[in-house]
Amino acid sequence: MGKVIYLDNAATTKTAPEVVEAMLPYFTEKFGNPSSVYSFASGNKDEITRQREVIADALGAKSNEIYFTAGGSESDNWALKAAAEAYAGKGNHIITTKIEHHAILHTGEYLESRGFEVTYLDVDEDGVVKLEDLKAAIRPTTILISVMFANNEIGTIQPIKEIGEIAREHGILFHTDAVQAFGQVPINVDEYHIDMLSASGHKLNGPKGIGFLYIRKGVKIRSFVHGGAQERKRRAGTENVPGIVGLGTATARAIRTMEERTAKEIQLRDYLIDRVMNEIPYTKLNGHREKRLPNNANFSFRFIEGESMLIMLDMKGICGSSGSACTSGSLDPSHVLLAIGLPHEIAHGSLRLTLNEEITKEDIDYVVDNLKKIVADLRAMSPLYEDFEKKNRKLI
Ligand SMILES: *Cc1c(COP(=O)(O)O)cnc(C)c1O
């Protein structure tokens, strides 16, 4: 295979070499169960404590507020289900948004089937939650607000501090799915009034299958996995020691490199956006122009089918992602693109490109040069585009 230009870092990232290196001994010589008494294994308990502190520091939290899980989906499930159950005596209403990850949306649907009421807030055309709508949705029975920190498709970053303030004023718990934001933008749980926060290792150059849920001290939350006494009796199961070491190492690395890495990504992201918007006609940028993740670009090309575009990009060694969910067996376009008001046919022609620190300006030029040609070729085959061109010509 030739060179691969990987622009799908919102789907998953490469595990950084220093992360792999830190993990390896915990598969081999340091394989002991952290709960064992002998010193050969109990050193692993100390190691887990150290990694918990690294992660807590990254959020301005305390280490006993960090609970390891098997990833972002589990953290989201835990936050919603366990909070709903623990606070059911106070009320049965939950507020979230229409643009959440399915780990939140499908958990919301599940809770609805169990008698909870869930409000899914609309967003504006940039994908931003409207604070007035949030305030209007609050009821005396509202027990939880869950709004993602940054969106995984269009990259829009939410006004998390303002949302946290509103939740705090009303005495409502605030959870945020920060899987895309953690390690990309600075987060402080006290400053933003966050009570619970989900994150995942493999989105920040850590391993897959490990994540955490931050739970503020004092929040009533039930055990999610019953069994042994691990994770302060709230999530049983022998700890994934290599995974925890990987997550902690990836977190330390992400915090250490954040400023320089994201500055570089923003520069290249904007270069990519400018070239595409200037050189490919009938194109829309999805998501907020400035309040977006440093590495996210998302476009809709009119008269194009996203899947065909992905296949043709793949033939050039370029990995991207389409806004439509065809690959997952459904013909519906992305719920996020529909929520920002895109008509079905335009949402279908969408492309998400998410950068990493290894991407260069030459890579971007290669991608845009190929993309221009692919879009032109696909449009040349589109009857809709032909009609549109004919009408345009008449107008001139
Ligand atoms: C990837 C992702 C998840 C799921 O995380 P996993 O670790 O893959 O389970 C949840 N929320 C958002 C916003 C994501 O991008």
Comparing CA positions, the residue from 196, 371, 205 lying closest to residue 278 is 371
Q: Are 54 and 256 in contact (CB under 8 A)?
A: no
pLDDT tens for residues 305-361?
999 999 999 999 999 998 655 455 566 789 999 999 999 999 999 999 999 999 999
The response to whether residue 148 sits with its C-beta less than 6 Å from ligand 1 reads yes
Instruction: Kindly indicate the confidence band of residue 384, based on its pLDDT and cuts at 50, 70 and 90.
Output: confident
CA distance 126 to 33: 48
The reported pLDDT for the residue numbered 1 is 61
Nearest residue (by CA) to ligand 1, atom 8, is: 72
Q: Is the CB of 72 under 6 A from ligand 1?
A: yes
35 — pLDDT class (breaks 50, 70, 90) = very high
pLDDT at 389: 86
For residue 150, give the ligand 1 atom closest to its CA.
Answer: 13
Residues making up the chain, counted from first to last: 396
Per-residue model confidence (pLDDT) at position 288: 98
Give the residues across from 94 on adjacent strands.
118, 144
Rounded to the nearest integer, the mean pLDDT of the chain is: 95
Q: Using a 6 Å cutoff on CB, does residue 103 contact ligand 1?
A: yes
Count other C-beta atoms under 10 Å from residue 269's C-beta. Answer: 23
Check residue 137 and give its pLDDT: 98
Instruction: Kindly indicate the confidence band of residue 28, based on its pLDDT and cuts at 50, 70 and 90.
Output: very high
**CA 119 to CA 97: how far, in whole Å?**
7
pTM of the model: 0.96
| CA–CA distance, 248 with 254 (Å, rounded to integer) | 10
Q: What's the mean pLDDT in 65-70? A: 98
Provide the annotated active-site residues: 326
Is the CB of residue 200 below 6 angstroms from any atom belonging to ligand 1?
yes
Nearest to 376 by CA among 385, 364, 388: 385
How far apart, in whole angstroms, are the C-alpha atoms of residue 383 and residue 393?
15
